[in-house]
Structure 1
Amino acid sequence: MDAALGPPETMQDRADELTPMMSQYFELCSAYEDSLVLFQVGDFYEAFCDAAERVSRLCEITLTKREDSTGEYPMAGIPIDNAESYIETLLDAGYRVAVADQVQEPEETTGVVDRAVTRVVTPGTLTEDELLRTDDNNFVACLARSGDRFGLALLDVSTGDFYVTSTTDESAVADELGRFAPAEAVVGPDASTDPFDEDCMVTPHDRSAFEGDSPERLVESYFGGPGTVLGNAAEVLACGALLDYAEYTRGAESDDTDGERGRLDYLNHVTRYDPREYMLLDRVALESLELFERRAVHGRAGATLVEVLDETACALGARELKDWLRRPLIEREAIEARHDAVGELAGDVRTRERLHDLLRDVYDVERLISRVSRSRANARDLRSLKDTLDVVPEIEAALEDADCATLRAIRADLDALDEIRDLIGRAIRAEPPIEVTEGGVIAEGYDERLDDLRETERSGKEWIDSLEAQERERTGIDSLKVGHNSVHGYYIEVTNANLDSVPEDYTRRQTLKNSERFYTPELKSREDEIIQAEQRADDLEYDLFREVRDTVAAESERVQALADTLARLDVLVSFATVAAEYDYARPTFVDDPKRTVIEGGRHPVVERTQETFVPNDTRLDADDCFAVITGPNMSGKSTYMRQVALIQLLAQAGSFVPAADASLSLVDRVFTRVGASDDIAGGKSTFMVEMTELADILDDATDRSLILLDEVGRGTSTTDGLAIARAVTEHVHDEIGARTLFATHHHELTDAADDLDGVFNLHFRADQDGQDVIFDHEIREGPAAASYGVEVAREAGIPDAVVDRSRELLDVDGSDSAHERKVATNGHRPAATNGAAAEDGSADGDETVDADLAETIREQNLATTTPMEALALLQELQEQVEDG
């Protein structure tokens, strides 16, 4: 993003020369110099000067110009009716957008219309439905530091979800940011931006928001004394500064703030949490397990865990589902309470389907009530709230016979807000218009004053409707017409040929080419009566609507509580639907601290995206808690490890699991070192990234953790890599004691099972049929005999000449299985004569390799050689032969 967004210096120097409107524009640019100001001029939002050029380029709209007595200014405008799509483009380009609306009616002034910034649109403070994803939260974060403690606050302005935590460990901050993935952050003066990734916009904010007693006073004004909800000064700083920033972005959007930025009255509580209350999934684990985003393969992205689990019926449940997966529980009683509900719903198909159908009629009332509280909701929003409240009694009835405590508690928490439902039903018409200032919103019978005004308006229009027939009969002019337009009001139109028949009480109103338009004293009186009644009725309707909206806003806390209850129910119904339809089993939790016993486990995503899937068992316990897994590439090692982690995660989230049976102990954290990646921008190679992630695991894992390691040590030499892999195995086994699955091509690592009591071997077998490798994807005890690297290289499309030469470098014994393979001692390229291999005993056909080359070949262990390593070896040998 360009650094300077305020007015050009030349404009500041010429401030006294500018027209009032341009002066107003540049004043707003100065006040919001970190944002691109969109300035309402009629039906458009305009940008001027440098900002106009940026808007024109990014939004692909025409750059025009404005000319006045003080000069010529580049100008670019976007239509107000379609502003959100253009604002989204500007946000994607890295800009914050300050929207300056007209806050004064043109008829109220003889000079320039007043304008004020009514909202600052930023990636983390979106409230516009058009810019938000309905199935996910949109968080803005604030990181503050007090002493040695970091405070982290996270707020979804669109829903009112507000969380805060603190820690003395900056790496723990990064873990939480990875969990919540905020779109934007403000950072205190003593805190670092290092924990934030590149997808999060770090926004500068007024330093004073972090200083003095300002944060504490702001927190207290929202939630009472900070000591009652927050644990320390760092949390107070983070919450207070974040509230200040949220109010700043609100601008003067509320119609009752008189241009001053307003409070977020729908923020009723802040949730203080300890990260240790949940299974921790850092950014690396979230990405490698593909919970919410799948890494593209060959430009195509597949399904994610949340996609195969999401049978939710409403936006509330979709967001809650992601939260449950993002923060699995570690308290056994709470987990089993969820399992009780899932089990009951899975076994009662009629109730489950009834609940799903009812929940489909639930609107996103969490975001709706925030619009109500910000005075941004229209009459249709209120009707949507009523429609949701109408469903609540039916949901209560559907849960009437619930047995488990969780479903009974949900039923008890359901609040239909009867008085609010009744108020909206009486006050707001069933199908109101979107615009709330032009009438047609308030239902008949709600207010006697309004009914009288509407009756006056209606009777007046009925009189006018009958006037045409009356005047035709009175004047004898059969072509006479009574009409209306917005400029001249009501009129009686007579063609020129009939002007001689016009009565004396007609007064000319307008002359046309072929006719004249008149009014009569009685028509003028009726017109005035209608206009006055109509205007007074519209004004009264708007006042009545605001009263209703304010009454609803006062119950925002109850609406939010209802939204939370409906969201929880929706996720439980979704879990039950998946369990019933895809044969998931209820997991059981045991006291054994290292037990992971899974029978017939399946990967929840892969089994849904492949035609066939081979289930596999898993057994980890106190005696055997470290599995070394070997086998060919593509045999299923990574899928197997991930499915174990996902089964554990699903179980602790409260879901049933894709397995025949699962007996588990609780896990405090899942660590993954799976897959190769680099950080080019950060100057880190694939191996450096691997080692950094491995260091984090070794530093933070406990004996209650689950660790997945895939090919540790592959990014360096075979000797170094094997040494690292062996040392890691010993350290995890001896010092940490965590349940671990370690997939490797270092076959020497399987020897650890002989030396370390808790280490054992598993492998995926493959059979060879001629030149083809057949994978059965079934895990077995013991180490693999070979990696079949050359065969896999062939299946991947490596040219035949390279594959054939690779085979020539292997000494394959005469057995059918070809399990034991060594590099051939005669490793040079066979000589050829006239395109054919020499078959006699000449030097070309019996050339010997020098001792150094032979020794190099003998040192290779092809059982542990990957396809890429084999190609590198082949190139090295070829160069030695050619040079020799």
Structure 2
Amino acid sequence: MNAVTGPPDGMVDVRGDLTPMLSQYFDLCRDYEDSLVLFQNGDFYQTYCEAAEETSRVCEVTLTQREDSTGTYPMAGIPIDNAATYLERLLDAGYRVALAEQVEDPDATSGLVDRAVTQVITPGTVVEDELLDAGTTNYVAAVAEGGETTAVAVVDVSTGDCRVTSSDAAARLRQELDRLAPSEVLLGPAVGADTALPSDPMVTDVDPETFDREAAVETLSAYAPRPTAVVANDAELRACGAVLAYAEYTQGDDGPLEYVSRITRYDPREFLALDATALRSLELFENRGAGAGRTLFDVLDDTACALGRRRLEAWLRRPLLDREAIEARHDAVEEFTDRSLARDEVRDRLREAYDVERLIGRVSRGRANARDLRSLKATLDVIPEIRDALADVESGTLTDLRESLPDLSGVRDLIDRAIRPDPPVEVTDGGVVRNGFDDELDDLRRTEREGREWVADLEASERDRTGIDSLEVGYNQVHGYYIEVTNPNLDRVPDDYTRRQTLKNAERFYTPELKRREDEILGAAERADSLEYDIFCDVRSQVADEADRIQAVADTLATLDALATLAAVAVENDYVRPEFGGDGIDIEAGRHPVVEQAADFVPNDADLPRGSVAVVTGPNMSGKSTYMRQVALVVVLAQMGSFVPADRARLPVVDRVFTRVGASDDIAGGQSTFMREMAELTDILHGATDRSLVLLDEVGRGTSTADGLAIARATSEFVHDEIGATTLFATHYHELTGLAEERERVVNLHFAADCDGVSEAGASGDASDATPPGDVTFLHRVAEGAASSSYGIEVARMAGVPDDVVDRAYDLVDERETEDVQATLDEAARRTNGHAGTERSGTDSPAVGEAGGGADADERLTGIVRDLEALDVATTTPLEALNTLADFKRRLDDDD
């Protein structure tokens, strides 16, 4: 975080002390030493000295100089009317910004205008619409420790959404911070500075006393009659109190944020766990590929309003674990898919809805203007129409939502009667309150209007009375109303004219009646503007009193939008309702919801019994990673309440989804790619349960083949034997396919390819990277069994590697495989001769005994020797040799 304080050493000139204005500025800088103070001076926010240099650089505004009794020093300013653009740049650059506003009317003040910081703007507490993504939650978080427990509390200052949770498992709290993705974090005094935080948020230092228990109780008392009743432990109490106190401080409020009417306490174990690695590798919200393509949220986000977008995002970040709650959402989505008219009507009405959560936040903070109130009224107007659209719904969720929409006709009527349909932005300049709403205001307006009409008629009547055709009646802010007569006509001026101003070619006068009317007009206008502002504030306050009910409306509209959107996406993309139950994951013709949007997609089945480990082999580029991700995405979609991209899906309720997919490093943190992958693997092996879904992709790469294969095999065995998690394990270590013969719940899957139009079937045993001559077509289709080749060199050729390199690679692999084949054949011959010798000697060999002994075993062994002698190694291709070896091994195993 950046901070600029001042004044710099040597800035004060020997000619005198700081001027009163600069003293005021630097006093505020010292009071807000962790912030960049923007000092209002008329229509600009100004900065001086070092702060000016930083403001000029970050905001790309001209650096000027100011000279006064203090000396000459840099100055830079940004226009208040366009401040949002520059504030965004400052926040992006890591600054906290304190707005020092003029809190006195300069015209009514002699001397220095008083200024005070009215708001501290930080990444986590910004409330300006121009600085916020309309459909995204913006949290500031506080992390506190108490004994064995760590708690995190968050608040979205723009909407009033406040949540708190805790856990005695550090990993679970890290996952929760990943899901909450706060823009700013406050760390309690007992929390380590090296605490793992998501997405590199701003870490703000606060007074440790902010996290004191007594201070927290005092803060929470304004939000709940019994502060300790809304939290589960002291850590939650401290975190919640700290984050709300900080939110109050940044908003310049001495008291509570009235629109934070509900503090939600929840347990992370109520939701499907998705850590930062899973969120990233499944590309739920961020695309990891080149060109930043679409994400799962992009596919789902066809919401009608900002309320629904934030709700949909929250559901995707926190899929459910309770089967009844999941199926209740599915019931609502299904009804919306079947009843297109009701769905479309609800969505059409929701498109007319404004962001009520943020509107009521501004209303409660006293920062809403008249247009905000009209927007709120327009949103409340859709409630009766939405209730009508839901009149015949049958699902329990939709019925409850319809009944939860309150009758806020009183608020609607108040705004409609009080506020003009198209009011000005500024609420202090008049023209906001409707005629007929307040009798006193109407009288003042009538007086003002009649006075102006009298003045408008005065010019014509005075011309007639004086005979001066060039006479004009005008007005300016300095001298008020006047009658202007040119110099040649001054001798015709009546006696009741009093001189007001002398010009070069004319004189300006007023009459007693004009002066009286002026006083009436200006007095009525001033009193009307003041009264109108008071009326507006009173109306706004009355609306703020209904904040709880309006937030309930916002909650209902958000849920309706999310459900209707999931239904619309399901219809558009041909999704089906998943079923729950059975013993494992059973998906028929499943698809990747994002990939299918951009390319022709080959659907694939997934039949994964609970606790099974599927070893997935196949060529590079064949779709192994896509297949694993699509299985996980189907699970995530189902548990968030969505339908899924498949012809049929029967699923268990999964407690966690773990992924070890893709390469990344953390050089700054001292971790290589391999170390980072091992760290992710560690989290999986410690955190997965028998109800988890685990995706492992190329575990063991990045080190020697022997070490990598050993890690991969040991991991597979541990997941199978100790954890029992349903697992998809993609690998190029074809040796792992042998686990299917050793472990009950290990199965082999492979992605096939065509070589010159001939489909290559999966085969057990070792496989080759060498590719027979000809073109290879990847079928992107999963099948049982192990792949016979990875086609690594062919992929290199397709990527454009020079032919000389590709040809040499084929030669080297052929040489290596020929050597390996010969060595294996020699070993097979040795074993065969050993069997034959034992048989001939008549020894009661266990091998012979297990094979059944006698003439049958001897005949099989003799056949193997005969086939070995007939084999022409010089003309046998590597693929033929592998198939022959597989046959020999099978026959030898039968013999054993």
TM-score for the superposition, normalised by structure 2: 0.88
CA distance in 1: counterparts of 2:160 and 2:645, whole angstroms:
35
Shift of the alpha carbon at 1:212? 4.8
Tell me, in whole angstroms, the C-alpha distance in 2 between the residues paired with 1:786 and 1:40. 71
Distance in 2, matches of 1:83 and 1:555, equals 31
Q: Which whole-Å deviations, capped at 9, do the CAs of 1:514-559 have from their partners, x for residues lacking one?
A: 3332221111111110000000000000000000111111111111
SS of alignment partner, residue 222 of structure 2: helix
User: CA separation in 2, counterparts of 1:11 and 1:27?
Assistant: 15
Distance 2:821 2:441 in 1: 99
Q: Which amino acid aligns with 1:516?
A: E
Does residue 221 of structure 2 align to residue 220 of structure 1? yes
Shift in Å, 1:488: 2.0
Partner of 1:643: 630
Task: Identify the match of residue 315 of structure 1 among 306, 316, 324.
Answer: 306
Equivalence map 1:291-330=2 (5 Å): 291-297=284-290, 300-330=291-321
Give the 3-state SS of the residue equivalent to 2:478 in structure 1: coil
Distance 1:517 1:388 in 2: 53
Structure 2 unmatched runs, 5+: 757-772, 824-877, 881-896
After the TM superposition, which residues 220-259 of structure 1 pair with which residues of structure 2 at under 5 Å, given as runs?
220-251=221-252
Partner residue of 2:510?
A: 519
Is 1:727 matched with 2:714?
A: yes
In structure 2, the residue matched to 1:781 is: 784
Does residue 264 of the first structure (1) align with residue 271 of the second (2)?
A: no
Report how far residue 647 of structure 1 moved.
0.5
Pairing partner for 1:277 from 228, 253, 270: 270
Question: How many angstroms apart in 1 are the aligned matches of 2:805 and 2:794?
Answer: 11
Tell me the residue number matched to 1:595.
584
Shift of residue 496, structure 1, vs aligned partner: 2.9
With over 3 angstroms needed to count, the CA separation of the structure-2 counterparts of 1:825 and 1:810, relative to structure 1, is farther
Q: Deviations over 1:746-801 (max 9, x none)?
A: 00001111101011011100112354220111110100000000000011111111
What is aligned with 1:95? 95
Counterpart in 1 of 2:838?
none
Distance of aligned partners of 1:821 and 1:347 in 2 relative to their CA distance in 1, 3 Å threshold: farther
TM-score (norm 1): 0.89
Alignment of 1:856-875 (within 5 A): none
Give distance in 1, aligned partners of 2:148 and 2:802: 59
SS of aligned partner of 1:328:
coil
Whole-angstrom distance in 2 between the partners of 1:214 and 1:10: 41
Alpha-carbon distance between aligned partners in 1 of 2:7 and 2:468, rounded to the nearest angstrom: 65
Match of 1:196 in 2: 197
Spell out the pairing of 1:178-577 with structure 2 (5 A cutoff).
178-193=178-193, 194-197=195-198, 199-251=200-252, 261-297=254-290, 300-577=291-568
Which one is further off, 217-226 or 135-144?
A: 217-226
Cα distance in 1 for residues equivalent to 2:590 and 2:749: 15
User: Whole-Å Cα distance in 1 between the matches of residues 28 and 11 of structure 2?
Assistant: 13
The amino acid that maps onto 2:334 is: G
Structure 1 residues 641-676: Cα deviation after superposition (integer angstroms, max 9, x where no partner): 111111100100001001001001100110000001
Q: What's the CA shift for 1:4?
A: 5.6
Indicate how the Cα distance of structure 1 residues 802 and 729 shifts in structure 2: closer, same or farther if over 3 A, else same.
Answer: same
Deviations 1:274-321 (A, max 9, x none): 000000111100000111110141xx1100001111110000001111
Q: CA RMSD in A?
A: 2.0
Aligned equivalent of 2:77: 77
- Residues 2/572 of structure 1: CA separation in 2 closer, same or farther (3 Å cut): closer
How far did 1:11 drift? Answer: 6.7
Q: Cα distance, 1:825 vs. partner?
A: 9.3
> Shift in Å at residue 862 of structure 1?
11
- Residue of structure 2 equivalent to 1:675: 662
C-alpha distance in 1 between matches for 2:12 and 2:635: 62
Quote the residue 1:748 is aligned against: 735
SS in 2 for 1:811: helix
Following superposition, the deviation at residue 125 of structure 1 comes to 0.5
User: What's the secondary structure of 2:221's corresponding residue?
Assistant: helix
Residue 703 (structure 1) shift: 0.6
Distance 2:14 2:225 in 1: 48
Matches of 1:609 and 1:416 in 2, distance apart? 45
Contact 1:6–1:34 under 8 Å retained in 2: no
* Segment of structure 1 superposing worse, 415-424 or 382-391: 415-424
Instruction: Give per-residue Cα distances to partners, 1:488-532, cap 9 Å, x unaligned.
Output: 222222233333332222222233333332221111111110000
Seen in structure 2, the aligned counterparts of structure 1 residues 536 and 683 have a Cα distance that, compared at 3 Å, is same
1:809 corresponds in structure 2 to 812
Alpha-carbon distance change, 296 to 331 in structure 1, aligned in 2, over 3 angstroms: same
Q: For 1:76, what is the secondary structure of its paired residue?
A: strand
Residue-pair matches, total: 809
What is the CA distance between 1:6 and its match in structure 2?
4.9
Q: Quick one: structure 1 residues 664 and 191, their matched pair in 2 at CA, closer, same or farther if it must change by over 3 Å?
A: same
2:373 and 2:4 mapped to 1: Cα distance? 42
1-side partners of 2:614 and 2:48: how far apart? 65
| Cα drift, residue 227 of structure 1 | 2.3
Query: In 2, distance between residues paired with 1:265 and 1:279?
Result: 33
| SS of structure 2 residue aligned to 1:757 | coil
- Partner secondary structure for residue 111 of structure 1: coil
How far apart, CA to CA, are the structure 2 residues paired with 1:418 and 1:86?
40
Distance in 2 (alpha carbons) for counterparts of 1:289 and 1:412: 37
Report the 3-state secondary structure (helix = DSSP H, G, I; strand = E; otherwise coil) of the residue aligned with 1:516: strand
Aligned to 2:864: none
1:789 is aligned with what amino acid? G
Distance 1:163 1:862, change over 3 A: farther
CA shift, 1:811, in A, is 2.3
- Structure 1 unaligned segments of length 5 or more: list them: 253-260, 814-819, 827-860, 864-884
> Following the alignment from structure 1 to structure 2, what is the Cα–Cα distance between the partners of residues 375 and 14?
46
1:556-705 superposed matches below 5 A: 556-590=547-581, 592=582, 594-610=583-599, 612-622=600-610, 625-705=612-692
CA distance in 2, matches of 1:862, 1:37: 74
Q: Residue type of the partner of 1:381?
A: D
- The aligned residue for residue 768 of structure 2 is none
Contact 1:341 1:406 in 2 (8 A): yes
Aligned partners of 2:619 and 2:358: how far apart in 1? 50
Distance in 1 separating the partners of 2:818 and 2:543: 77
Is the alpha carbon distance of 1:471 and 1:230 closer, same or farther for their aligned partners in structure 2, counting shifts above 3 Å? same
- Residue pair 1:63, 1:75 contacting (<8 A) in 2 also: yes
Question: CA distance change for structure 1 residues 431 and 120 in 2, over 3 Å: closer, same or farther?
Answer: same
Identity of aligned residues (%): 62
**What letter is aligned with 2:522?**
I
Residues 619 and 792, structure 2, Cα contact 8 Å, conserved in 1: yes
Kept in 2: contact 1:809–1:823 (CA 8 A)? no
Amino acid at match of 1:675: G
1:223 partner SS: coil
Separation in 2 of the partners of 1:36 and 1:113?
20
